[in-house]
Every structure is written in C-alpha cells, then in structure tokens.
C-alpha cells in the first residue's frame, strides 16, 4: 500500500478499469443467452422428434407453425425464468446454485407444459407424448445449463479485462482496508472498480492522508464515515465493501441505512457477521468471503403473489364483512361525538406520505396537547374504542389502504411524519424501515410486549422490522398472517 498526500480532487480513475459496458446489467447477458439457447433447444428437439426416426408422428409441422411454437415457447420460458428470479442482477453467483435452480424450474415448467398440452394423451412407449416431453426436458436442461455457464464465462472474461466493471467504494479502518483491497485485487474476476476509500474521522485528521494502490493507481480518501451520505450521492457506487476493526454497532447500522437509501448494495467482511446475525447472507466470491447485507430477497413471483394476496384478502374482508363493519361504524357514531373514521397522515414506502384510515377509538381532542402515542388504559380511548383496539377491529379500514397499494398486509407499521423525523434525528438508521411498503401487521406486532415512546423501545422495534426486511419472503408473510389471526382471537390488542 502506498502513502501520499493526494486529495480526492486529484484522483484520476485507474486506466482500463472504467469499462465501456460498465453499466450493462448481468440480466441482459442472461436474457440474450437464454433466447439463443431456447432457439437451439427448439431446433435440436425438432431434429430429434421428426428426423431421427425414433418417434412416430402423423404430420410434420410447417414453417408457420414452427415459428409460432418457437416464439410462444421462448416467451413462456423467459417469463417463467423472470418469475423465478433467474434474471436478478447477480454479478457473482455460485454456478451450481444457478444450475440447480435452472433444473428445478425447467422440471416445473415441463410439467406445466405436459398438463396443459399433452394431458389427453394416454399412449405409452417411446412414441408417446409423455416420453417426448421427457426427451425435451433432458435436451432443455443440457443446452440451457451449458449456455448459462458459457455466458458466465464470457462475463467473467469481460470483468477480468475491465470491459465491464462494478463501481464500488471501500469503507473501513486502515488495516482492514488494506486487507480488503488486497483481497479484491487478487480476484479480478469480481469486476470491482474501486472509486476510493472512506475511513474513520480520526484517521483522516492525520497530517498525512493515506491512499491505497489498486492496479498501480492510487485510490483517494473520499471522506469520513460521517460524510458517507454525501459521498454516496457524489460518486454513485453500486456497492459498498465494509471492513472495520472493533466495529460500532450503531455505526454499522447507520451505514447499512445510508446504503439502502441510495440503493447501494453493502457487503462486509465475515468477521463482522455476529453484528448482523440473522440479517445477512454469506457468500464466497472467488476465494474472498463477503457478507451481503440487505439483499433483495423477494423473487418476482413472490412480489406478484404478495400483491395478489393483498388485493384478494382486502376485497374479501371489506366486502364479506361489510354488514358487520357498518354495524361497527354505527356503534362508534353513537358512542361519542365525532367522525366514524379516523384519518391520519403516515409515511409509506420510500417516505411517500399517504392518508391512513382507522375506526375512531379515541375522543376527537385526543391530541390537543400535540402528537403522542397511546398508553395502557389511556383515558382518551372511548368505551367502544377499548373493544375495537383490544380486538384490532379499529384497523379494518386499513384494508382500503392495502387495496390502493399504499400498504400491504404484512410489513413494518406505518409511522407519522412527526415521529419519522424525530426518530431519524435520534437514530440515524431509522429511515431504513421505509424501504418496504408498510403493513397492517408485521413481525414486531406478533412479538411485542408494550407500547412505549422511548428510544430503547424504538430500537427494539427496529430490530424486528429489520429482521423482516432482511428475511422477506411469501412464506414469512403467511406465517405472520397466521400468527396475527391467532393473536386477534386471543384478544392481545392494546386497549
């Protein structure tokens, strides 16, 4: 590692590392490769099916039918691959993981084809449609897996030559950064293009500013940890690699929050794993172990399924239960003066404000002294409100927010702008919970013990919210919904 008094303004990007195709996403290579491979699969299958003499057939399809079949099958498989998450922008991924996923998805896809197209074939033997679909699947797996591995080798070659690259910033303490830079430099297939380093404030206050060499070029000190938000806005990296001695938990969480806000993928050295226990995924990258923090865990099909579930359940609850909700509205109206519905501005996904609805459970002057959270045996709660809050029936109008797409059934609870601003000032990583759509229920709601407006309780809630964000899946949503239903019937609401 070199030491110099070079400032970040003097920095010249290392030659040959920029890459003319640096902004080309990996998914584009995958889609092009898959399309060519699908055409090859169709061609080979056609030869085997109609020109080997292995199978009986009534008539050979003409060119128009062949073209239609090729286009239809290609669209079918590309759509299925997209729903299965095979077109996510992984720059580095285990080859075996990709092959196993492709085998599994192709098997499911061929079963769907067999049921949809060949369900009425009762034949047997080598000329039956069932055997034909098995032959198609074997050809499909061999050719598609070979094509995927070939595309991966091309991408790796381009990364090694600097034709395509991934701009990154390196964050950490001097000793750890030296270790990290050396590890990345030993693995050119990563395609990382360091833009500079971000170090602790105490280190950059030194008279001599440290710089690190990468590929024979000096990397500048971009600033300190405190300047990270401005640095991410200025240099716009795609990833941030973190390596810190004796890490401060609050500092790491703040970094993760800032990276999330700026859509920067964050990876840390594995010796910090205990800090993010249960909230990270470990992976080996060409011998360089890194831990991926805040990955996008929802596959496209899970995102679609989650939204469909939101819509279906909301319609069922609002329509089927309409007579009962009308009765609840009448009870609220006659129990105390004021509107039936309580409207309040909340912060949604990415901080977008929306108006949330509830059945009114408090008096109309409940916040005459300013915003405040509800307390146990809160005197502001009306007689009917105690029942509504205990049974969670007061939350039912939020299904309308779910139907509009402002909320989801499952997610961190939406908070008021007042509290978002307040806690964001006091807890720097608080805004990270705004990266997902808020929900009617969530992991914290099925685990909580009390409502308290204290920083300790807010931090405790954030731990549950972050666990959900880092482990989001359709399966987890179903589990939370089932546990929520159980809690509702047990009457665990806060009155």
Two tokens, residue 76: 């079918």
From the list 189, 102, 116, 185, the residue with the least C-alpha distance to 147 is 102
Two tokens, residue 440: 């009617």
DSSP conformation letters of 237-250: -SEEEEE-SS--HH
Beta strands in 101-245 (DSSP E): 166-172, 192-199, 212-214, 217-219, 221-224, 239-243
pLDDT of residue 279: 44
**Taking the domains of the chain in order of start, what are their residue ranges?**
8-18+165-293, 26-161, 300-490
* Each residue's pLDDT tens digit, 355-387: 999 999 888 777 777 776 676 667 788 888 888
pLDDT of residue 270: 59
What are the residues whose beta carbons fall under 8 Å from the beta carbon of 446, sequence distance 6 or more? 480, 483, 484, 487
What are the residues whose beta carbons fall under 8 Å from the beta carbon of 116, sequence distance 6 or more? none
Residues facing residue 282 across a β-bridge: 291
Q: How many Cβ atoms sit within 10 Å of the Cβ of residue 481?
A: 18
pLDDT of residue 6: 28
* pTM of the predicted model over 0.75: no
pLDDT of residue 493: 58
Residue with tokens 């009986």: 56
pLDDT of residue 128: 56
Two tokens, residue 29: 């290579």
> How far from 386 is each of 49, 124, 366, 493, CA to CA, in Å?
71, 67, 14, 9
From the list 393, 191, 210, the residue with the least C-alpha distance to 286 is 191
Name the percent of the chain lying above pLDDT 90: 23
pLDDT of residue 395: 92
Provide block-wise average pLDDT over 10 residues at a time, the chain (495 residues).
31 40 68 92 88 67 86 92 78 72 90 74 51 87 91 83 84 81 79 85 52 72 86 90 75 80 79 46 51 65 91 95 93 88 91 92 76 71 85 92 95 89 79 86 78 67 82 88 85 60
* Each residue's pLDDT tens digit, 152-184: 888 888 887 877 788 899 988 877 888 788 878
Give the Cα separation of 311 and 305 in Å (integer): 10
pLDDT of residue 296: 62
pLDDT of residue 338: 85
Query: Are the C-beta atoms of 1 and 189 separated by less than 8 Å?
Result: no
Query: Are the C-beta atoms of 181 and 214 separated by less than 8 Å?
Result: yes
**What's the CA angle centered on 55, arms 135 and 124, to 5 degrees?**
75
CATH assignment of 8-18+165-293, among 3.40.50.720, 3.30.1130.10, 3.40.50.1000, 3.50.50.60:
3.40.50.720
* Each residue's pLDDT tens digit, 416-470: 898 888 888 777 777 778 888 999 999 888 877 555 556 677 777 888 888 888 7
DSSP H helix total and E strand total for the chain: 15, 13
Give the Cα separation of 96 and 152 in Å (integer): 12
pLDDT of residue 143: 94
Cα 451 versus chain centre, distance = 29
Two tokens, residue 9: 């303004």
Give the Cα separation of 296 and 120 in Å (integer): 41
Two tokens, residue 298: 């929802």
From the list 287, 188, 168, the residue with the least C-alpha distance to 231 is 168
> How far from 253 is each of 21, 222, 332, 457, CA to CA, in Å?
33, 20, 43, 17
pLDDT of residue 57: 61
SS3 55: coil
Two tokens, residue 310: 């939101």
From the list 337, 187, 179, the residue with the least C-alpha distance to 268 is 179
Give the Cα separation of 406 and 437 in Å (integer): 7
């Amino acid at each position: 590692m070199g030491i110099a008094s070079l400032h970040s303004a003097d920095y010249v990007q290392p030659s040959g590392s920029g890459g003319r195709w640096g902004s080309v996403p990996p998914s584009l290579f995958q889609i092009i490769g898959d399309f060519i491979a699908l055409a090859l699969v169709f061609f080979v299958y056609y030869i085997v099916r109609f020109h080997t003499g292995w199978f009986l057939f009534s008539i050979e399809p003409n060119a128009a039918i062949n073209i239609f079949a090729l286009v239809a099958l290609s669209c079918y498989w590309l759509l299925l691959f997209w729903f299965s998450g095979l077109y996510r922008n992984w720059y580095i991924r285990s080859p075996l993981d990709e092959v196993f996923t492709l085998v599994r998805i192709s098997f499911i896809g061929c079963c769907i084809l067999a049921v949809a197209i060949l369900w009425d074939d009762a034949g047997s033997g080598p000329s039956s449609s069932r055997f034909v679909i098995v032959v198609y699947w074997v050809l499909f797996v061999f050719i598609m897996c070979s094509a995927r591995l070939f595309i991966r080798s091309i991408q790796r070659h381009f990364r090694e030559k600097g034709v395509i690259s991934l701009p990154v910033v390196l964050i950490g303490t001097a000793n750890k950064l030296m270790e990290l830079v050396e590890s990345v430099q030993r693995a050119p297939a990563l395609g990382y293009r360091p833009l500079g380093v971000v170090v602790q404030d105490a280190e950059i206050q030194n008279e001599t500013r440290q710089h690190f060499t990468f590929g024979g070029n000096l990397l500048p000190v971009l600033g300190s940890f405190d300047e990270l938000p401005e640095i991410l806005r200025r240099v716009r990296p795609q990833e941030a690699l973190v390596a810190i001695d004796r890490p401060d938990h609050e500092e790491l969480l703040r970094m993760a929050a800032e990276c999330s806000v700026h859509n920067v993928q964050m990876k840390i050295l594995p010796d910090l794993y205990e800090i993010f226990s249960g909230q990270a995924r470990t992976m080996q990258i060409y011998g360089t172990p890194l831990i991926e923090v805040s990955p996008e865990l929802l596959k496209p099909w899970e995102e679609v399924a989650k939204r469909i579930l939101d819509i279906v359940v909301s319609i069922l609850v609002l329509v089927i239960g309409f007579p009962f909700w009308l009765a609840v509205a009448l009870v609220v109206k006659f129990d105390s003066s004021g509107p039936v519905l309580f409207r309040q501005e909340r912060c949604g996904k990415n901080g977008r404000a929306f108006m949330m609805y509830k059945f009114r459970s408090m008096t109309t002057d409940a916040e005459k002294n300013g915003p405040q959270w509800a307390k146990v045996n809160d005197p502001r709660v009306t007689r009917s409100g105690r029942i509504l809050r205990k049974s969670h029936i007061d939350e039912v109008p939020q299904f309308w927010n779910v139907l509009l797409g402002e909320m989801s059934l499952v997610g961190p609870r939406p908070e008021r702008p007042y509290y978002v601003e307040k806690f964001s000032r006091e807890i720097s990583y608080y805004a990270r919970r705004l990266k997902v759509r808020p929900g009617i229920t969530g992991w914290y709601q099925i685990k909580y013990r009390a409502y308290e407006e204290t920083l300790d309780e807010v931090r405790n809630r954030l731990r549950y919210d972050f666990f959900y964000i880092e482990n989001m899946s359709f399966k987890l949503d179903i589990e939370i919904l089932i546990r929520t239903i159980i809690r509702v019937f047990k009457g665990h609401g806060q009155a």
